[in-house]
Structure 1
Protein backbone atom coordinates (compact mmCIF):
# COMPACT_ATOMS: atom_id res chain seq x y z
CA UNK A 1 0.00 0.00 0.00
CA UNK A 2 1.49 3.32 -1.09
CA UNK A 3 2.09 6.06 1.45
CA UNK A 4 0.71 9.57 1.10
CA UNK A 5 3.02 12.57 1.19
CA UNK A 6 1.69 13.46 4.65
CA UNK A 7 2.53 9.97 5.92
CA UNK A 8 6.03 10.21 4.43
CA UNK A 9 6.57 13.64 5.99
CA UNK A 10 5.43 12.32 9.36
CA UNK A 11 7.99 9.51 9.18
CA UNK A 12 10.74 11.92 8.12
CA UNK A 13 10.02 14.15 11.12
CA UNK A 14 10.15 11.10 13.36
CA UNK A 15 13.48 9.74 12.04
CA UNK A 16 15.12 13.18 11.48
CA UNK A 17 17.95 11.68 9.41
CA UNK A 18 17.90 9.94 6.03
CA UNK A 19 20.77 7.57 5.15
CA UNK A 20 21.82 8.42 1.58
CA UNK A 21 23.13 5.18 0.13
CA UNK A 22 25.12 4.25 -2.99
CA UNK A 23 25.66 0.54 -3.56
CA UNK A 24 28.08 -1.51 -5.65
CA UNK A 25 26.13 -4.72 -4.88
CA UNK A 26 22.37 -4.79 -4.43
CA UNK A 27 22.62 -7.72 -2.01
CA UNK A 28 24.36 -5.47 0.52
CA UNK A 29 21.09 -3.60 1.06
CA UNK A 30 19.60 -6.20 3.41
CA UNK A 31 22.40 -6.43 6.00
CA UNK A 32 22.78 -2.66 5.71
CA UNK A 33 19.05 -2.12 6.26
CA UNK A 34 19.06 -4.46 9.24
CA UNK A 35 21.98 -2.56 10.75
CA UNK A 36 20.17 0.76 10.28
CA UNK A 37 16.89 -0.56 11.69
CA UNK A 38 18.58 -2.13 14.71
CA UNK A 39 19.96 1.31 15.54
CA UNK A 40 16.70 3.19 15.08
CA UNK A 41 16.66 4.13 11.39
CA UNK A 42 14.31 1.96 9.28
CA UNK A 43 14.68 4.35 6.35
CA UNK A 44 16.91 4.51 3.27
CA UNK A 45 17.44 6.77 0.29
CA UNK A 46 18.91 4.46 -2.34
CA UNK A 47 20.49 6.61 -5.03
CA UNK A 48 20.55 6.04 -8.75
CA UNK A 49 24.22 6.99 -8.70
CA UNK A 50 24.54 3.21 -8.72
CA UNK A 51 23.28 0.98 -11.52
CA UNK A 52 22.09 -1.42 -8.81
CA UNK A 53 19.61 1.06 -7.31
CA UNK A 54 16.40 -0.36 -8.77
CA UNK A 55 17.31 -3.93 -7.81
CA UNK A 56 18.26 -2.86 -4.29
CA UNK A 57 14.96 -0.98 -3.86
CA UNK A 58 13.01 -3.99 -5.12
CA UNK A 59 14.87 -6.38 -2.80
CA UNK A 60 14.42 -4.11 0.21
CA UNK A 61 10.70 -3.63 -0.49
CA UNK A 62 10.17 -7.38 -0.80
CA UNK A 63 12.21 -8.44 2.22
CA UNK A 64 11.74 -5.48 4.59
CA UNK A 65 8.28 -4.15 3.68
CA UNK A 66 8.08 -1.74 6.63
CA UNK A 67 11.11 0.28 5.53
CA UNK A 68 10.58 3.82 4.27
CA UNK A 69 12.33 3.83 0.90
CA UNK A 70 13.29 6.84 -1.20
CA UNK A 71 14.73 6.57 -4.68
CA UNK A 72 17.43 9.25 -4.82
CA UNK A 73 19.34 11.06 -7.57
CA UNK A 74 16.50 10.40 -10.01
CA UNK A 75 17.32 12.24 -13.23
CA UNK A 76 15.37 10.57 -16.06
CA UNK A 77 11.84 9.35 -16.81
CA UNK A 78 13.23 5.81 -17.07
CA UNK A 79 14.52 6.04 -13.50
CA UNK A 80 11.13 7.30 -12.31
CA UNK A 81 9.45 4.21 -13.75
CA UNK A 82 12.17 1.97 -12.33
CA UNK A 83 11.73 3.52 -8.88
CA UNK A 84 7.95 3.12 -8.95
CA UNK A 85 8.06 -0.44 -10.26
CA UNK A 86 10.66 -1.41 -7.67
CA UNK A 87 8.43 -0.15 -4.85
CA UNK A 88 9.97 3.15 -3.74
CA UNK A 89 7.74 5.21 -1.46
CA UNK A 90 8.92 8.47 -2.94
CA UNK A 91 11.43 10.05 -5.30
CA UNK A 92 14.15 12.58 -4.47
CA UNK A 93 15.90 14.62 -7.16
CA UNK A 94 19.04 16.78 -6.86
CA UNK A 95 17.51 19.63 -8.86
CA UNK A 96 14.15 20.85 -10.11
CA UNK A 97 13.14 19.22 -13.40
CA UNK A 98 9.58 20.12 -14.36
CA UNK A 99 9.27 17.11 -16.64
CA UNK A 100 10.28 14.68 -13.87
CA UNK A 101 8.02 16.37 -11.31
CA UNK A 102 5.00 16.19 -13.62
CA UNK A 103 5.68 12.55 -14.45
CA UNK A 104 5.77 11.64 -10.77
CA UNK A 105 2.56 13.57 -10.19
CA UNK A 106 0.90 11.73 -13.08
CA UNK A 107 2.02 8.41 -11.55
CA UNK A 108 0.84 9.45 -8.07
CA UNK A 109 4.41 8.96 -6.85
CA UNK A 110 5.41 11.54 -4.20
CA UNK A 111 8.46 13.57 -5.17
CA UNK A 112 10.81 15.81 -3.19
CA UNK A 113 12.64 17.85 -5.83
CA UNK A 114 15.89 19.67 -5.21
CA UNK A 115 16.03 23.47 -4.88
CA UNK A 116 18.59 25.98 -3.63
CA UNK A 117 17.33 29.39 -4.82
CA UNK A 118 14.15 31.45 -5.22
CA UNK A 119 13.73 30.56 -8.91
CA UNK A 120 13.59 26.80 -8.29
CA UNK A 121 11.39 27.29 -5.21
CA UNK A 122 8.84 29.24 -7.24
CA UNK A 123 8.91 26.58 -9.97
CA UNK A 124 8.09 23.99 -7.31
CA UNK A 125 5.32 26.07 -5.75
CA UNK A 126 3.79 26.62 -9.19
CA UNK A 127 3.29 22.84 -9.44
CA UNK A 128 1.82 22.61 -5.95
CA UNK A 129 4.99 21.34 -4.26
CA UNK A 130 6.19 22.79 -0.98
CA UNK A 131 8.15 19.80 0.33
CA UNK A 132 11.63 20.12 -1.17
CA UNK A 133 15.22 18.99 -0.89
CA UNK A 134 17.78 21.74 -0.29
CA UNK A 135 20.88 20.64 -2.18
CA UNK A 136 23.83 20.92 -1.98
CA UNK A 137 23.10 22.24 1.48
CA UNK A 138 26.43 23.41 2.85
CA UNK A 139 27.76 24.60 -0.53
CA UNK A 140 24.54 26.59 -1.06
CA UNK A 141 24.83 28.58 2.13
CA UNK A 142 23.67 26.05 4.70
CA UNK A 143 21.58 27.04 7.70
CA UNK A 144 21.99 30.77 7.00
CA UNK A 145 20.67 30.41 3.43
CA UNK A 146 17.73 28.25 4.50
CA UNK A 147 16.69 30.81 7.11
CA UNK A 148 16.92 33.58 4.50
CA UNK A 149 14.77 31.63 2.01
CA UNK A 150 12.17 30.88 4.68
CA UNK A 151 11.54 34.61 5.00
CA UNK A 152 9.46 34.84 1.81
CA UNK A 153 8.79 31.09 1.53
CA UNK A 154 7.66 30.16 5.03
CA UNK A 155 5.39 27.38 3.71
CA UNK A 156 8.36 25.24 2.67
CA UNK A 157 9.12 21.90 4.30
CA UNK A 158 12.74 21.07 3.69
CA UNK A 159 15.09 18.08 3.59
CA UNK A 160 18.64 19.46 3.33
CA UNK A 161 21.36 17.17 1.98
CA UNK A 162 25.00 17.69 1.09
CA UNK A 163 27.83 18.43 3.49
CA UNK A 164 25.78 17.58 6.57
CA UNK A 165 27.58 15.65 9.29
CA UNK A 166 27.69 15.04 13.02
CA UNK A 167 29.02 18.54 13.67
CA UNK A 168 26.24 20.54 11.98
CA UNK A 169 23.17 18.27 11.81
CA UNK A 170 21.61 19.67 14.99
CA UNK A 171 21.93 23.22 13.62
CA UNK A 172 19.77 22.22 10.66
CA UNK A 173 17.26 20.27 12.74
CA UNK A 174 16.77 23.29 15.01
CA UNK A 175 14.88 24.97 12.14
CA UNK A 176 11.18 24.02 12.48
CA UNK A 177 10.63 23.80 8.70
CA UNK A 178 13.22 21.05 8.35
CA UNK A 179 11.70 17.58 8.20
CA UNK A 180 14.93 15.60 8.19
CA UNK A 181 18.53 15.84 7.01
CA UNK A 182 20.10 13.58 4.43
CA UNK A 183 23.50 12.19 5.28
CA UNK A 184 25.96 9.62 3.98
CA UNK A 185 28.91 9.74 6.40
CA UNK A 186 27.54 6.86 8.50
CA UNK A 187 26.76 4.71 5.43
CA UNK A 188 29.99 5.40 3.56
CA UNK A 189 30.43 3.22 0.49
CA UNK A 190 33.83 1.96 1.71
CA UNK A 191 32.21 0.65 4.89
CA UNK A 192 29.45 -1.01 2.87
CA UNK A 193 31.87 -2.61 0.39
CA UNK A 194 33.96 -4.04 3.22
CA UNK A 195 30.74 -5.19 4.97
CA UNK A 196 31.75 -3.35 8.12
CA UNK A 197 28.26 -3.49 9.60
CA UNK A 198 29.64 -3.06 13.11
CA UNK A 199 31.14 0.34 12.32
CA UNK A 200 28.04 1.42 10.37
CA UNK A 201 25.97 0.41 13.39
CA UNK A 202 28.21 2.40 15.72
CA UNK A 203 28.05 5.51 13.54
CA UNK A 204 24.28 5.18 13.10
CA UNK A 205 23.73 4.84 16.84
CA UNK A 206 25.96 7.88 17.37
CA UNK A 207 23.87 10.13 15.12
CA UNK A 208 20.54 8.74 16.33
CA UNK A 209 21.55 9.41 19.93
CA UNK A 210 22.63 12.93 19.02
CA UNK A 211 19.48 13.91 17.15
CA UNK A 212 17.13 12.27 19.64
CA UNK A 213 18.19 14.96 22.09
CA UNK A 214 17.41 17.77 19.64
Structure 2
Protein backbone atom coordinates (compact mmCIF):
# COMPACT_ATOMS: atom_id res chain seq x y z
CA UNK A 1 0.00 0.00 0.00
CA UNK A 2 1.31 3.46 -0.88
CA UNK A 3 2.23 5.95 1.83
CA UNK A 4 -0.59 8.26 0.72
CA UNK A 5 -3.17 5.49 0.82
CA UNK A 6 -1.95 4.59 4.30
CA UNK A 7 -2.16 8.26 5.33
CA UNK A 8 -5.72 8.50 4.04
CA UNK A 9 -6.79 5.29 5.75
CA UNK A 10 -5.29 6.53 9.01
CA UNK A 11 -7.30 9.77 8.73
CA UNK A 12 -10.52 7.84 8.26
CA UNK A 13 -9.68 4.91 10.55
CA UNK A 14 -12.40 3.93 12.96
CA UNK A 15 -15.02 6.09 11.29
CA UNK A 16 -17.53 3.86 9.47
CA UNK A 17 -19.40 6.73 7.78
CA UNK A 18 -17.92 9.80 6.08
CA UNK A 19 -20.57 12.53 5.87
CA UNK A 20 -20.86 13.89 2.32
CA UNK A 21 -22.01 17.48 2.64
CA UNK A 22 -23.44 20.09 0.32
CA UNK A 23 -23.07 23.48 2.01
CA UNK A 24 -25.54 26.04 0.66
CA UNK A 25 -24.78 28.74 3.26
CA UNK A 26 -21.21 29.16 4.47
CA UNK A 27 -22.44 30.12 7.94
CA UNK A 28 -23.65 26.53 8.37
CA UNK A 29 -20.23 24.99 7.83
CA UNK A 30 -18.57 25.32 11.23
CA UNK A 31 -21.58 24.45 13.44
CA UNK A 32 -22.37 21.49 11.18
CA UNK A 33 -18.81 20.18 11.40
CA UNK A 34 -18.86 20.59 15.19
CA UNK A 35 -22.15 18.68 15.50
CA UNK A 36 -20.86 15.81 13.37
CA UNK A 37 -17.60 15.65 15.32
CA UNK A 38 -19.50 15.58 18.64
CA UNK A 39 -21.46 12.64 17.27
CA UNK A 40 -18.28 10.75 16.46
CA UNK A 41 -17.77 11.66 12.80
CA UNK A 42 -14.90 14.19 12.69
CA UNK A 43 -13.88 13.42 9.07
CA UNK A 44 -16.24 15.09 6.60
CA UNK A 45 -16.33 15.64 2.85
CA UNK A 46 -17.59 19.02 1.64
CA UNK A 47 -18.49 18.74 -2.03
CA UNK A 48 -17.62 21.46 -4.52
CA UNK A 49 -21.21 21.65 -5.70
CA UNK A 50 -22.06 25.09 -4.33
CA UNK A 51 -20.52 28.56 -4.71
CA UNK A 52 -19.67 28.64 -0.99
CA UNK A 53 -17.92 25.27 -0.88
CA UNK A 54 -14.31 26.47 -0.82
CA UNK A 55 -15.05 29.11 1.79
CA UNK A 56 -16.87 26.45 3.84
CA UNK A 57 -13.75 24.28 3.72
CA UNK A 58 -11.60 27.24 4.78
CA UNK A 59 -13.85 27.98 7.73
CA UNK A 60 -13.97 24.40 8.97
CA UNK A 61 -10.21 24.01 8.55
CA UNK A 62 -9.57 27.25 10.42
CA UNK A 63 -12.27 27.19 13.09
CA UNK A 64 -13.09 23.56 13.93
CA UNK A 65 -9.96 21.97 15.31
CA UNK A 66 -11.65 18.63 15.99
CA UNK A 67 -12.77 18.22 12.35
CA UNK A 68 -10.88 16.54 9.51
CA UNK A 69 -12.23 18.36 6.47
CA UNK A 70 -11.90 16.98 2.97
CA UNK A 71 -13.28 18.17 -0.33
CA UNK A 72 -15.29 16.21 -2.87
CA UNK A 73 -16.50 16.40 -6.46
CA UNK A 74 -13.02 17.44 -7.59
CA UNK A 75 -12.99 17.17 -11.39
CA UNK A 76 -9.73 18.80 -12.55
CA UNK A 77 -6.31 19.98 -11.34
CA UNK A 78 -7.46 23.57 -10.76
CA UNK A 79 -10.14 22.38 -8.34
CA UNK A 80 -7.64 20.05 -6.68
CA UNK A 81 -5.21 22.92 -6.06
CA UNK A 82 -7.97 25.25 -4.85
CA UNK A 83 -9.27 22.64 -2.43
CA UNK A 84 -5.80 21.92 -1.09
CA UNK A 85 -5.11 25.63 -0.59
CA UNK A 86 -8.43 26.01 1.24
CA UNK A 87 -7.22 23.53 3.86
CA UNK A 88 -8.52 20.16 2.70
CA UNK A 89 -6.92 17.25 4.54
CA UNK A 90 -8.01 14.82 1.81
CA UNK A 91 -9.48 15.17 -1.67
CA UNK A 92 -12.17 13.04 -3.30
CA UNK A 93 -13.09 12.73 -6.97
CA UNK A 94 -15.84 10.79 -8.76
CA UNK A 95 -13.21 9.28 -11.07
CA UNK A 96 -9.54 9.29 -12.07
CA UNK A 97 -7.85 11.09 -14.97
CA UNK A 98 -4.19 11.36 -15.95
CA UNK A 99 -4.27 15.04 -15.03
CA UNK A 100 -5.70 14.39 -11.56
CA UNK A 101 -3.22 11.59 -11.02
CA UNK A 102 -0.34 13.95 -11.80
CA UNK A 103 -1.51 16.81 -9.60
CA UNK A 104 -2.22 14.41 -6.75
CA UNK A 105 1.22 12.80 -7.07
CA UNK A 106 2.80 16.26 -6.70
CA UNK A 107 0.72 17.06 -3.60
CA UNK A 108 1.02 16.00 0.02
CA UNK A 109 -2.78 15.85 0.31
CA UNK A 110 -4.03 12.24 0.01
CA UNK A 111 -6.37 11.52 -2.89
CA UNK A 112 -9.44 9.26 -2.99
CA UNK A 113 -10.51 8.87 -6.64
CA UNK A 114 -13.53 6.96 -7.82
CA UNK A 115 -13.45 3.69 -9.75
CA UNK A 116 -16.20 1.30 -10.79
CA UNK A 117 -15.05 -1.28 -13.33
CA UNK A 118 -12.33 -3.88 -12.75
CA UNK A 119 -10.27 -2.10 -15.42
CA UNK A 120 -10.54 1.24 -13.62
CA UNK A 121 -9.63 -0.37 -10.31
CA UNK A 122 -6.63 -2.12 -11.88
CA UNK A 123 -5.45 1.11 -13.52
CA UNK A 124 -5.64 2.94 -10.20
CA UNK A 125 -3.83 0.07 -8.49
CA UNK A 126 -1.08 0.18 -11.08
CA UNK A 127 -0.72 3.91 -10.41
CA UNK A 128 -0.10 3.14 -6.74
CA UNK A 129 -3.59 3.83 -5.39
CA UNK A 130 -4.93 1.09 -3.13
CA UNK A 131 -7.81 2.94 -1.44
CA UNK A 132 -10.57 4.06 -3.82
CA UNK A 133 -14.03 5.53 -3.83
CA UNK A 134 -16.65 3.22 -5.36
CA UNK A 135 -19.11 5.60 -7.00
CA UNK A 136 -22.01 5.57 -7.68
CA UNK A 137 -22.19 2.53 -5.45
CA UNK A 138 -25.82 1.43 -5.61
CA UNK A 139 -26.23 2.26 -9.29
CA UNK A 140 -23.02 0.40 -10.17
CA UNK A 141 -24.03 -2.90 -8.59
CA UNK A 142 -23.89 -2.24 -4.88
CA UNK A 143 -22.46 -4.51 -2.22
CA UNK A 144 -22.77 -7.59 -4.41
CA UNK A 145 -20.49 -6.05 -7.04
CA UNK A 146 -17.89 -5.03 -4.45
CA UNK A 147 -18.01 -8.49 -2.89
CA UNK A 148 -17.18 -9.95 -6.30
CA UNK A 149 -14.09 -7.72 -6.54
CA UNK A 150 -12.79 -8.70 -3.10
CA UNK A 151 -11.15 -11.96 -4.19
CA UNK A 152 -9.52 -11.10 -7.55
CA UNK A 153 -8.34 -7.63 -6.42
CA UNK A 154 -7.91 -8.32 -2.73
CA UNK A 155 -5.34 -5.60 -1.96
CA UNK A 156 -7.58 -2.67 -2.99
CA UNK A 157 -9.95 -1.19 -0.41
CA UNK A 158 -13.00 1.00 -1.00
CA UNK A 159 -15.23 3.74 0.36
CA UNK A 160 -18.60 3.20 -1.40
CA UNK A 161 -20.61 6.38 -1.93
CA UNK A 162 -23.80 7.06 -3.87
CA UNK A 163 -27.12 5.65 -2.74
CA UNK A 164 -25.61 4.48 0.55
CA UNK A 165 -28.02 5.00 3.45
CA UNK A 166 -28.65 4.01 7.04
CA UNK A 167 -30.63 1.07 5.68
CA UNK A 168 -27.91 -0.48 3.52
CA UNK A 169 -24.63 0.81 5.04
CA UNK A 170 -24.11 -2.31 7.16
CA UNK A 171 -24.20 -4.49 4.04
CA UNK A 172 -21.21 -2.60 2.68
CA UNK A 173 -19.34 -2.38 5.97
CA UNK A 174 -19.49 -6.14 6.33
CA UNK A 175 -17.33 -6.63 3.22
CA UNK A 176 -13.60 -7.33 3.63
CA UNK A 177 -12.63 -4.72 1.02
CA UNK A 178 -14.68 -1.84 2.46
CA UNK A 179 -13.07 0.55 4.95
CA UNK A 180 -15.93 3.04 5.33
CA UNK A 181 -18.91 4.40 3.41
CA UNK A 182 -19.84 7.92 2.35
CA UNK A 183 -23.35 9.23 2.85
CA UNK A 184 -25.42 12.35 3.17
CA UNK A 185 -28.18 10.95 5.40
CA UNK A 186 -26.41 12.12 8.56
CA UNK A 187 -26.93 15.77 7.60
CA UNK A 188 -30.30 16.15 5.83
CA UNK A 189 -30.81 19.47 4.07
CA UNK A 190 -33.81 20.46 6.19
CA UNK A 191 -31.99 19.92 9.47
CA UNK A 192 -28.97 21.87 8.22
CA UNK A 193 -31.10 24.74 6.95
CA UNK A 194 -32.92 24.94 10.30
CA UNK A 195 -29.74 24.67 12.35
CA UNK A 196 -30.92 21.56 14.18
CA UNK A 197 -27.43 20.62 15.28
CA UNK A 198 -28.54 18.39 18.17
CA UNK A 199 -30.54 16.19 15.82
CA UNK A 200 -27.61 16.00 13.39
CA UNK A 201 -25.33 15.06 16.30
CA UNK A 202 -27.70 12.21 17.15
CA UNK A 203 -27.77 11.00 13.54
CA UNK A 204 -23.97 11.09 13.53
CA UNK A 205 -23.82 9.11 16.76
CA UNK A 206 -26.04 6.39 15.28
CA UNK A 207 -23.91 6.31 12.11
CA UNK A 208 -20.72 6.12 14.17
CA UNK A 209 -22.18 3.01 15.81
CA UNK A 210 -22.31 1.17 12.47
CA UNK A 211 -19.01 -0.55 13.13
CA UNK A 212 -17.48 -3.12 10.87
CA UNK A 213 -17.94 -6.69 12.15
CA UNK A 214 -15.02 -7.98 14.20
Q: TM-score, normalised by structure 2?
A: 0.92
How many residues in Structure 1 have an aligned counterpart in Structure 2? 212
For 1:101, what is the secondary structure of its paired residue?
helix
For the structure 1 residues 176 and 10, does the alpha-carbon distance in structure 2 shift closer, same or farther, using more than 3 Å as the test? farther
What is the distance in 2 between the residues matched to 1:201 and 1:89?
22
Residue in structure 2 matched with residue 206 of structure 1 by the alignment: 206
Cα gap change, 1:62 to 1:169, in 2 (>3 Å) = same
In structure 2, what is the Cα distance between the partners aligned to 1:16 and 1:187? 15
123 and 210 in structure 1: CA distance in 2 versus 1, 3 angstrom threshold = closer
Separation in structure 1 between the aligned mates of residue 89 and residue 122 of structure 2, nearest angstrom: 25
Task: Tell me if 1:39 matches 2:28.
Answer: no
Residue number in structure 2 paired with 1:67? 67
Distance in structure 2 (CA, Å) of the matches to 1:111 and 1:40:
23
Contact 2:150–2:176 (CA under 8 A) maintained in structure 1: no
Distance 1:7 1:112 in 2: 11
- Answer yes or no: is the 8 Å Cα contact 1:136–1:163 preserved in 2: yes
Change (3 A) 1:132 1:213: closer
Match of 2:12 in 1: 12
Q: Is the 8 A contact 1:19 1:45 kept in 2?
A: yes
Counterpart contact for 2:37–2:66, Cα < 8 Å: no
Provide, for residues 165-211 of structure 1, a one-character-per-residue CA deviation record: whole Å limited to 9, x for no partner.
Answer: 11111111111221110010111223212212232122222222343
Report whether the alignment pairs 1:95 with 2:95. yes
Q: TM-score, normalised on structure 1?
A: 0.92
Q: Is the 8 A contact 1:96 1:115 kept in 2?
A: yes
What's the counterpart of residue 50 of structure 2? 50
After TM superposition, the runs of 4+ consecutive aligned structure 1 residues lying more than 6 A away are none
Q: Is the 8 A contact 2:48 2:74 kept in 1?
A: yes
Post-superposition shift, 1:35?
0.7
Matching of residues 26-175 of structure 1 within 5 Å? 26-175=26-175
1:182 aligns with 2:182: yes
CA root-mean-square deviation: 1.8
Write the deviation string for residues 65-106 of structure 1: whole angstroms up to 9, x where unpaired: 342221101012221111110111111101122211211111
Distance 1:155 1:70, change over 3 A: same
Q: Which runs of 5+ in 2 are unaligned?
A: none
Q: Comparing both structures, which one devotes a greater share of its residues to helix?
A: 1
Larger RCO, structure (CA 8 Å, separation 6 or more): 2
In structure 1, distance between residues paired with 2:211 and 2:154: 23
**8 Å Cα contact 1:21-1:189 kept in structure 2:** no
